[in-house]
Amino acid sequence: MSIWTRIAAALAALTKGEGLSAVFDRLKTPPEKSVGFTIAVIALGAKMAKADGRVTRDEVMAFREVFTIPPEEEPNAARVFDLARQDVAGFDLYAEKIAAMFGPGDAVLIDLMEGLFYIAVADAEFHPHEDAFLRDVARIFGLGDKCYRSLLARFVPDAPPDPYAVLGVSPDAPREAVRAAWRRAVRENHPDRLLSRGLPEEAVRLAEGRMAAINRAWEEINGKEAA
């Protein structure tokens, strides 16, 4: 059974009058968590689209890059998006339920934030309303400012390039601490580790760009210190 078929089943289980946010109360164990992750990216992406008032073709294409959607499954993805757009519940309720599903500060929530950042900057513009939206989601997820700055440094073209922020360390951190942070980031982003966190296979491809950014940051820092 494909993840999109499972998503359709989760939506069908909603009773009359229930909003999409009710889905997250029922998806608390693997493999349902991968369904929850996918629905969360779509639903929060829809709420984020309302934040800057528009949905661009680039953002739609970016979502397709995060998730491979077979043509026959497009209606299921579209239904999640439409339900989120129409739901009177605010994005904060969605974020709170998602945080409760995985646990505040869980690594999966960082993965989810990456998907949202990927979509937000797909049109080559990072709107202030998108920044405010993502900061609020990160706060509800229990992710600190250091984590958010790391995401900004990796995804937002106009953000100051900061290899230390990418690795989540201070510029004055000892070399061994920086090396340890790099090794930990590489280990945490191995595909097997991502799958064990409940990510659908389609979303693991995000780790390819993340790993490149992590290694690039280490190489830049290592080169500076060796010079």
Q: Could you give the angle at the alpha carbon of 50 between the alpha carbons of 199 and 25, nearest 5°?
A: 40
Beta carbons of 95 and 129 less than 8 angstroms apart: no
Each of the 227 residues of the chain gets a pLDDT tens digit; together they read 677 888 888 888 888 778 888 888 877 665 677 788 888 888 888 888 777 666 666 666 666 666 667 778 778 888 888 888 778 788 898 899 889 888 888 888 888 898 888 888 877 788 888 999 999 999 999 998 888 988 888 888 777 668 888 888 888 888 899 999 999 888 887 777 777 776 666 566 666 777 888 888 899 888 766 54
Q: In 3D, which of 157, 158, 47 has the Cα closest to residue 112?
A: 47
pLDDT at 1: 63
DSSP-derived 3-state class of residue 193: helix
**Contact indicator for 17, 110 with CB cutoff of 8 Å:** no
Name which of 86, 103, 82 is nearest 33 in CA terms.
103
- Domain boundaries defined on the chain: 3-226
37, two tokens: 């992750």
